[in-house]
Chain A
Amino acid sequence: MIETLQMFITDYTLRNVALGAILLGGISVALGSFAVLRKQSLLGDTISHAALPGIAIAFLLTGSKSSLILLIGAALSGWLATLFMMMVVRHTRIKTDSALGIMLSVFFGFGLMLLTYIQKLPDANQAGLEKFLFGLAATVLGVDVKSMAIFGAFVLFGCVLFWKELKILSFDEDFGTSQGLNMRYADMILTTLLVIAIVVGLQMVGVVLMSAMVVAPAAAARQWTNRLHIMVILAAFFGALAGLGGAVTSSLIPNLPTGPTIVLAISGIVIVSLFFSPNRGLFWRWLRQMRNRQDFHIDAVLLDLYALALQHPNLKQAHAVAVGG
């Protein structure tokens, strides 16, 4: 334990990994809360999967593996997928969930195709792009952490700036429109922020499991609080915690992919929240139910006794015979 702590302070890679994980968890999750409240959990899934072709194309065009360039590509194609999805919903009979599924598979399939193509290139430079599939925290460099921090700051600033608009968008879009607030802009802003937040985490968690980071901490946080701002902050905290735990664990154990480890960590938090959070927790609900049932039984017995007592003019007289019923 102390060894790990020492490593954490001295080891450059591990420190980067830890910082990156905290950033990733905190940011993606803050935005994820809104997606969850709008019942658009699948949106995060679509954006992250759709980022893959963007990464591949950015690499093919520039030949660079700088994470900034690749992530810009990822953001563009994630955003494009969302835009297509909205167009499909508006102009066809296809519903949102199906449209999301279509975009997810089309973009992801295209991305995988490009990735296979890149891997067959004679150039040795291509190695390492597949880290975006499942995430590889150990490859996160100091410069990556810096770009994550910049993107993150941007997203959080947007979230605070547009708090009121995002809230009314998530709760009652029509009411917002009726007041003259253009909810289409608000929707666009939320989507853009979500795209950036997701892209930030891709290198760490990978496109396949990124949606868990968007949805799970928010779902867990909802269990503990009834206030939106507390929910968002708590979700960010859960995300950071899981990110840190998962990333550090996977860095210490060789060949352990980071994404799945982080996702397992956040799943643990979700399970604990589902069962033991006050009010909403399943465990407490079960306990309350048992207690209520017991109370009903006791009340029923007392009522029976009372009814019996009413039939006896002399309360002090003991029964000679058994009372049955």
Chain B
Amino acid sequence: MHSHLNNHTESPPKELAVRVEDLTVAYRDKPVLWDIDLEIPSGVLMAIVGPNGAGKTTAIKAMLGLLEPVAGRVEIYCKPYKEQRKQVAYVPQRTSVDWDFPTTVLDLVMMGRYGDLGWFKRPGRKERDMAMESLAKVGMEKYAGRQISELSGGQQQRAFLARALVQEARIYFMDEPFQGVDATTERAIITLLRELREKGKTLIVVHHDLQTVREYFDWVFLLNVRRIACGPDQDVFTEGNLRTAYGGRVSFLHSGQAVGDAAK
């Protein structure tokens, strides 16, 4: 139960990986994110949790500059995000791309090097080797030559993770990496995320399953358009906060774990 209370939360305060100030996003006249302030310390494994339509994906996309916010500032390691893009890797939702695109798994993973390569330059042997290494880390090296349309959901997710690993970033933004994967893949992914944290990386993960939040993550950002709470999970993941985020639709098990029917 207290396995999440490891050295990370007890060690002295570290430098900030991500600082978000006044982030507000609106579609037309409807606010999707309202005045979000965040301070995410370096080296945490953080879940972004909230009901459907709370703006979890929007939050990630706005932090990454994929959406134009109405207001707000994002700093990565104390510098504006635009100067720090190379520090950040992004794993979009698996369903956001067309998996029938004519390309191989290896090609897909090499896309993670495009940013470092910059315009014009083509991936070469070095990028290929790095991509193979990343594929090995997610247990997918056998599938390097495979057409991406032939992958199962779990394999697609692993390929996406490999593409982010190859970016060699310090901060990882992941949008629902556990969505629609089997139990084996889920375990493999959480093992990988923990390994990354041990290496000092910061992980920011949109997560849907309230049951596994305390087991998987040490830091939680509870969101419903506004920031409900953000901090170590034992402080944030409380009945009161969850009720605020989910309304009355959260029932509590006697073990103290929260189950959100709204999360489905």
A residues at B contact (CB < 8 Å): 37, 39, 93, 161-165, 167-168, 170-172, 174-181, 222, 225-228, 230-231
Contact = CB atoms under 8 A, between A and B. Distances in A.
B143 to A, nearest CB: 14
Interface stretch (B118-126, B186-194, B228-236, B256-264): B118-126
A226 B149 contact: yes
25 contacts: A37-B98, A93-B28, A161-B120, A162-B119, A162-B120, A164-B121, A164-B122, A164-B123, A167-B103, A168-B114, A171-B111, A172-B97, A174-B61, A175-B111, A175-B163, A177-B64, A178-B85, A179-B85, A179-B114, A180-B115, A181-B115, A222-B102, A226-B104, A227-B104, A228-B102
A227 B103 contact: yes
Contacts of B66: 174, 177-178
Contacts of B104: 226-227
Nearest to A231: B102
Given A174-B61, A174-B90, 20 more contacts: A162-B119, A164-B122, A164-B123, A165-B114, A171-B98, A171-B101, A171-B108, A172-B96, A174-B64, A175-B90, A175-B111, A177-B65, A178-B66, A178-B88, A179-B85, A179-B115, A180-B86, A181-B118, A226-B103, A228-B103
A214 to B, nearest CB: 17
Contacts of B64: 174, 177-178
A227 B146 CA distance: 11
B92 interface: yes
B5 interface: no
A93 B29 CA distance: 12
Interface string B31-75: 000000000000000000000000000000100111000000000
B167 interface: yes
B117 A164 contact: yes
Given A163-B122, A164-B122, A180-B86, A227 B96 contact: no
B147 interface: yes
Contacts, number: 83
Contacts of B123: 164
Contact of A179 (B61, B167, B173): B167
Given A178-B90, A226-B102, A164 B96 contact: no
Contacts of B96: 172, 174
A271 B252 CA distance: 59
A164 B163 CA distance: 15
A226 B147 contact: yes
A165 B111 contact: no
Contacts of B65: 177-178
Nearest to B122: A164
Nearest to B123: A164
Interface string B3-14: 000000000000
B23 to A, nearest CB: 17
Nearest to A227: B102
Q: Closest 8 CB pairs between A and B? A: A179-B115, A180-B85, A178-B90, A226-B147, A228-B102, A178-B64, A172-B97, A171-B101
Nearest to B113: A179
Interface string B141-179: 000000101000000000000010001000001000000
Contact of B102 (A39, A180, A225): A225
Contacts of B85: 178-180
A168 B119 CA distance: 12
B11 to A, nearest CB: 30
A170 B101 contact: yes
Nearest to A161: B120
Given A174-B66, A178-B66, A228-B102, A165 B61 contact: no
A14 B65 CA distance: 54
A181 B123 CA distance: 15
B76 to A, nearest CB: 12
Nearest to B91: A175
A170 B108 CA distance: 12
Contacts of A174: 61, 64, 66, 90, 92, 96
Contacts of B149: 226
Given A164-B122, A171-B103, A181-B119, A176 B114 contact: yes
Contacts of A39: 98
A168 B111 CA distance: 7
Contacts of A178: 64-66, 85, 88, 90, 115, 173
Nearest to A33: B102
A222 B103 CA distance: 11
B144 to A, nearest CB: 14
B128 to A, nearest CB: 14
Contacts of A171: 97-98, 101, 103, 108, 111
Contacts of A228: 101-103, 107
B61 to A, nearest CB: 7
